[in-house]
């Protein structure tokens, strides 16, 4: 029996996650009152029962009933029922953006600010995050990537170390990503912008990559960057970090930063890490002068 409790921050993607879990063959219930969890688990474990994969969404929409979750989890443990907790998280800036896009109010503070609601919710959910079996940070995930993460854990059965690495290429002229943990400046590398036939291409073009990497400094920097990130990742995992954002910037965010970002991405993927890439400013250049 696989018994999954899906919880996390409002706006972090729980509704989307439960849809994907249904696609994976899980019997799903959204917003079950926590006091009913032990009884429901008992029904699922009946000898004649046919359910072997269950996912429940439990969050602060339950209002005062949500406070019963801790005692319900203790009841499950006393009854000998195994369960897993999937915690969905996202950065405050991302959650605020999602609330504004959907014109929703925060369920904890309908008449207050979204920021205050998020802060209050984080405090209420702190103990659940600490107990979580798996944590997925959806800040930089598009729906298909969230589905892949869920499939990786709950269908293919791969063990999650809870660390998702996001690599963001960007242009300094457009601002440094606010959620970056590590920022690297590659403006010292050869710049394809000053080569007429390469100016309108990007770091996804093999000609641009070859131009950037046809320099001892580029090769040495890339190798040292790979080595340093490889050294850091195990330490971040040991500290319980679940999201690492690596930002790589050049002037406009189209050539050098994309080149180095993709080389690092390929390197980390080959080492088996869960890694995403976002070329943030690739479409901001309109041609001509910067």
What are the tens digits of pLDDT across the range 176-225? 988 899 999 999 999 999 999 999 899 989 999 999 999 999 999 999 99
Give the pLDDT of residue 178: 82
Residue 162 pLDDT level (bands cut at 50, 70, 90): low
Tell me the two tokens of residue 101: 């896009």
Q: Write the pLDDT tens digit of every residue in 61-93.
A: 766 667 788 889 999 999 899 999 999 999 888
Q: What residues have CB less than 8 Å from 54, skipping those under 6 apart?
A: 1, 2, 3, 4, 26, 27, 28, 29, 44
Cα-flanking dihedrals φ and ψ of residue 200, to 5°? Answer: -90, 0
Residue 8 CA: distances (Å) to CA of 58, 60, 61: 8, 9, 11
The domain defined by 2-154 folds into Rossmann fold (3.40.50)
For the chain, give every domain's residue range: 2-154, 164-279
Q: What is the pTM of this model?
A: 0.68
Q: Write the pLDDT tens digit of every residue in 264-278.
A: 999 999 998 888 888
Residue 160 pLDDT level (bands cut at 50, 70, 90): low
What single-letter DSSP state applies at residue 164?
E
Rounded CA separation 136/134 (Å): 7
Pairing outcome for strands 84-89 and 53-57 = unpaired
104, pLDDT greater than 90: no
- The total of other beta-carbon atoms located within 10 Å of residue 13's CB is 22
Residue (of 136, 126, 10, 135) closest to 61 by Cα position = 10
């Amino acid at each position: 029996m696989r018994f999954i409790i899906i919880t996390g921050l409002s706006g972090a993607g729980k509704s989307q996650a439960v849809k994907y879990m249904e696609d994976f063959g899980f019997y799903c219930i959204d917003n079950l009152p926590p006091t009913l969890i032990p009884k429901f688990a008992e029904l699922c474990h009946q000898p004649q029962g046919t359910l072997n994969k269950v996912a429940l969404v439990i969050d602060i929409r339950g209002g005062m009933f949500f406070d019963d979750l801790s005692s319900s989890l203790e009841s499950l443990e006393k009854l000998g029922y195994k369960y897993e907790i999937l915690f969905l998280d996202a950065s405050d800036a991302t959650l605020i953006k999602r609330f504004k896009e959907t014109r929703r109010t925060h369920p904890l503070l309908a008449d207050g600010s979204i920021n205050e609601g998020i802060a209050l919710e984080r405090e209420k959910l702190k103990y659940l995050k600490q107990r979580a079996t798996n944590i997925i940070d959806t800040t930089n995930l598009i729906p298909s990537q969230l589905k892949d993460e869920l499939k990786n854990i709950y269908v293919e059965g791969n063990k999650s170390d809870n660390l998702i690495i996001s690599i963001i290429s960007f242009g300094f002229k457009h601002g440094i990503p606010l959620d970056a943990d590590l920022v690297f400046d590659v403006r010292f590398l050869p710049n394809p912008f000053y080569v007429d036939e390469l100016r309108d291409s990007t770091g996804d073009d093999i000609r641009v990559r070859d131009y950037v990497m046809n320099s001892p400094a580029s090769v040495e920097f890339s190798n040292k960057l790979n080595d340093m990130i490889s050294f850091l990742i195990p330490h971040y995992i040991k500290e319980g970090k679940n999201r690492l954002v690596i930002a790589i910037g050049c002037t406009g965010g189209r050539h050098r930063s994309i080149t180095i970002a993709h080389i690092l991405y390929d390197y980390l993927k080959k080492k088996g890490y869960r890694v995403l890439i976002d070329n943030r400013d690739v479409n901001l250049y309109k041609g001509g002068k910067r």
